[in-house]
Structure 1
Amino acid sequence: MKVVSEALDFNNTTTVSVKNPTVEEVRFQTDSELWEAFKEGDETAFIKIYNDYFESLCDFGIQFAPLSTVKDAVQDVFIHLRTKRAQLPALKNSIQPFLFQCLKRHLFNLNKKAAKSNFKLTEDIFEIAVSHESAIILNQEHKVKLERLNRALGKLNAKQREAIYYYFYKEMSYEEVQDLMGFDNVKSARNLIYKIVKKLKQTFLYFF
């Protein structure tokens, strides 16, 4: 979180205007390569990052706040990433966790200023569930088990749901969960997820 705090300053309210590049899009082999190109001033790299992650960031942000607020916040994040690109840290793996970290921090900063605005963080964050659409082909017995799993997920607290969201829904590593949730070490993230899975297993063994 320290890196984000030093690199970003969310005071500008300008909006990002992204257009399709007029030249053929560069094919980046890895997120690390894409990120470095962006940091070095490659506007095509910025456009690709914006297009690739805008929707994912909105999906993540609505776990904390209304969509209208989230869209503006995502715009803010991209504006300041572009402004501060030279000061941003190198990323060895996926870009997504860093962007999530930036957006989460910005939304919490907005919440601190809630007395001066109409914004307020959603109280019941990370309302996760297994979609019933995925159960269409299941027989009645399995559908009953699905209902039990969703009830078990609903009994998790906000911190537990957040960890599940990152690790299972977004397929992040323990290290990425650690960074996003502010744990002191990877072991804390691993232990939390282990305890959650164990708790869910006690309710419903079929899906694990």
Structure 2
Amino acid sequence: MNEKFIQLSKELKHRPILEKALGYFPNLPLVAIDCGCGAGNESAYLLSKGFNVHAFDISIDAQKVCNERFKDDSKFIFYHESFEDFNFPSASLIIASSSLFFCNPSYFYSVIKRMINALSEGGILVVDLLGIYDEWVIREPTKFIGFTYQDIADLFLCDFNLLFHKEINENLPLLEGYIKIWHLHMLILQKSDF
């Protein structure tokens, strides 16, 4: 993630799916993990709702922006780490919107397992996964994993209840303006009480 992207994205609001997810949020401690947090837009929204936020991103530019943006907020902790290296603390909400698909595919399933283990029973997971028709998946299949609905069910529905699923398959611009074929699964999942 480069400085231009961070500068463009820091003017954006949080993603609407986050508000939808909080509508399902149970009576649990307000502890969230913002995975691949970028400029911290989701983190800012969660802080405004009283959450303690653990945010991580591999980008130095994201670190600079977040450290400046949240320098006076003791409920925010930034970690300069990747999905592969992050040690997920216990949390009741984990957000991986537009970030998890950048995880190295050889670590993807172990990262998912660590996320599941970190999430408390009844906790909420908000995640975007690329579909099999996404431009990046087709162009770089060794770098990006594409999922069908059945793949998602196999991956999550042993441990989670599916609260929301929206599939997008259309041409949309990236923040820098380039038009990309997006095939995306947007999910809100709740960890089952066993």
Do Structure 1 and Structure 2 share a fold, with TM-score over 0.5?
no
**Structure possessing the higher radius of gyration over alpha carbons:** 1
Instruction: Indicate the TM-score class for this superposition, using the shorter chain for normalisation.
Output: under 0.3
TM-score, normalised to structure 1's length?
0.26
Instruction: Decide which structure has greater helix share.
Output: 1
Instruction: Decide which structure has greater strand share.
Output: 2
TM-score, normalised to structure 2's length?
0.27
